[in-house]
Structure 1
Amino acid sequence: MKNSTVTITLILTVIMLLPARATCQGMPVYDNTNFISLAKSLVESAKQTSQLLKSVEFLKQQKENIEKVNNVIKQLKAVKELTKNNQKLFNMVQNDLRDILNSPYIKSEEVDRISESFNSIIEQSLDDLDFIGQILASDTMKMTDAERAMFLKEKEQQSKEMVAEIEQKTRLYKEIISFRSMQDKINNRETNY
């Protein structure tokens, strides 16, 4: 009986210890090194995100700067083209108008009308140049660079139209002179019958 009591006690002890051991084995174990590396990864990721945001802001500013420079270049090109067109206008009026007015085939009553038609274009051109100078020199109109570039492009187009108008008038008056010259030669030729 003693033997059986020991056996029962042993069995009971094993049974009692068995669930205790099973519970201990099922408890989760945390590794602190994994947690620390996760925290380090999160901090590094936040730093990279912050750098990315700074880079995006920097690129945005650079894009704005490039657009400003681009608009200034457009303005300079438009002003250069305007200057070239106006110089062409002045040269054409100075040379062609003198040739037209000095022609013996232009009547005296036509001189004032011809001069006035050329002068009105030149005056418009000078007014435009003065206005453009005011726009470029001051900021009273509160225009953005893009608006200023578009305005200058419109004025450039107008100056091209003025050059075309002067060329057309010059061609017309030269054709009139040529026609009158030919008519004079026909009327004053010697007849050999």
Structure 2
Amino acid sequence: MDEDAADFLQGICPDAKCQTLLYFTSKNSLVECKNCGQQHKIENLLEQKKANKINALQSMIKNMTDVQPKKGSDFVRVIGLSNFLCKLLSPLLTTYGMNKAGKATLLSELCDSETIDCGKVLGNRTFLISPAHIDVEGYGKDRTGSTLYLQTLLDELKSAHEGEERLIPIHADGDGHCLVHAIS
């Protein structure tokens, strides 16, 4: 087992009115209570102990997926998923995978690697967007002006491909990683 793997722990929210059971990992220094909304230092939680891994994972996933987001492009759902949800689940899904029995298993146990080679695993899906999703605002075709900005280039590409539109600017989140999103 990996020495750097985090243990799952549990503790009770120290707010006297709340007292919600919270799950967290040993790598956390803060935990946010989903009931009262307060952030607490781990050392301030009451009755801390090692948690059942399955219960902890289920609770953490439920807390992440029960979030009622504000309106915005980060929360547009396509095929049931939003960018917000994917960003929340990403750390979990880059550590764990599903074995053939449907049980969460460390990636290191599934494929003898701590990380996933996205090119190998997802290479056949890259750069694809379903035509049905092109007009989904906040996901498909960008509506912030990039089409106008790139119009000359897009017209040249369309002309080079006998009038077929093969490249369109799509939405990219402005979350600090927008260049990476735009390139991908």
- TM-score (norm. length: structure 2): 0.22
Compare the two structures and name the one with the higher helix fraction.
Answer: 1
Higher RCO structure (Cα 8 Å, ≥6 apart): 1
Larger radius of gyration: 1
Structure number with higher strand proportion: 2
